[in-house]
Amino acid sequence: MTVPAATLEDANKVSTAPPSPPHDPSHEEHQYLNLIRTILAEGEHRPDRTGTGTRSIFAPPQLRFSLSKPGPTPSSDPIPVLPLLTTKRVFLRAVLGELLWFISGCTSSIPLSDAGIKIWDGNGSREFLERVGLGHREVGDLGPVYGFQWRHFGAQYVDAKTDYTGQGFDQLADVVRKLKETPFDRRIIMSAWNPAALKEMALPPCHMFAQFYVSYPAGSQKGSLSCLLYQRSCDMGLGVPFNIASYALLTHIIAHATDLNPGTLIHTMGDAHVYLDHIEALNEQLTREPTEFPELRIKRDDRGSGVVDGWKDEEFEVIGYKPHKSIKMKMSV
């Protein structure tokens, strides 16, 4: 049976849970589910910045997600895959909207909020900015967060309205250049962690460091791009499913821009934790069996162009995403 294609909007509208598939212990989503089981069983109780409380373990085994699967014939290009967790619905439109916002270098939460993506509203509120000593900022001005560090690392931050064109170091452009010109380089790295600027940020980066690696599998004429993500603080219920999808999409975008095949996303965690008010919801999620990860189609004809700016939501098509229904979890701010 052919699975119908779905736009990003369609992928988030469908709410009917699929029939439970047979248990497949090799499904990559079980890495995530088993880590949650470990945290619930063995994690220590720790207070946290938000006052909610967590169960936490430090430096669990890496999670590894394939970003492609073999094509129909040995000579076919691999088929891109998006590791979008299926045991609950992931808000894909928000994942992509936030990622493109990062890439743009924007530091105001207002454009996301206006688009119906409210994930940064709490950290950009007047109350929160006052609480963290940034009350002089306009509402929504988050400071030099992720996108600023990706595109303008080292530039002097003024406010969210300032034009930073040509200022600082453009790490993302440097990653693309190295992948195209020196793919064996061991310094293809992008960091959001800038200690000198942390005090200016509404929230220091949780996912903070990515290294890219090009391999050339035997018999392949084209390189395969993998990404190693280091995340210092990992909210297993709400954040990690989002982060997996986001860095998978980022790797797909960069692979397209550099004419490489998508390889593997490797997720390394520091403090991996479950918020105490997420335990009940996660126990429900743990009863569910994963379904197949969807395919990803990029609808652009500029493969290998090196262009990562100006991409749009409608240029991504997710095919065959059949998750279980959403599970409500509160975001701790």
Mean pLDDT of 160-186: 98
Give the Cβ contact number of residue 295 at 10 Å. Answer: 18
* Residue reference for tokens 């934790």: 273
Tokens encoding 214: 């090009």
Residues 76, 82, 86, 91, CA torsion sign: negative
Whether the full predicted model's pTM is greater than 0.75, yes or no, is yes
- Please, what is the Cα angle at 242 between 324 and 50, to 5 degrees? 110
How far apart are alpha carbons 318 and 92 in whole angstroms? 9
State how far the Cα of 2 lies from the Cα of 281, in Å rounded to an integer.
Answer: 33
> Has residue 213 got a pLDDT over 60?
yes
Lowest-confidence pick of 19-23, 139-143, 144-148 = 19-23
Domains of the chain, first to last: 60-106+165-319 (3.30.572.10)
Contact (CB, 8 A) for 81 and 295: yes
Whether the predicted pLDDT of 5 surpasses 60: no
DSSP run (H or E) holding 264:
strand 261-275
Q: What is the DSSP string of 44-64?
A: EEE--TTSS-EEEEESPPPEE
Which residue of the set 106, 206, 227, 234 is catalytic? 206
- Give the 3-state secondary structure of residue 82: coil
Q: In the structure, what pLDDT confidence band is assigned to residue 287 with cuts at 50, 70 and 90?
A: very high
Q: By the 8 A CB rule, do 210 and 228 touch?
A: yes
* For range 33-38, the mean pLDDT: 98
Angle at 226 between CA 243 and CA 302, to 5 degrees: 90
* 171 Cα distance to chain centroid: 17
Q: Give phi and psi for 180, each to the nearest 5.
A: -80, -35
What is the residue-averaged pLDDT of the chain?
Answer: 93
Is residue 187 predicted with pLDDT exceeding 60? yes
Does residue 202 surpass a pLDDT of 90?
yes
Nearest Cα to Cα of residue 238 among 204, 270, 289, 278: 278
Report the pLDDT value the prediction gives residue 18, as an integer from 0 to 100.
52
**206 classed as catalytic:** yes
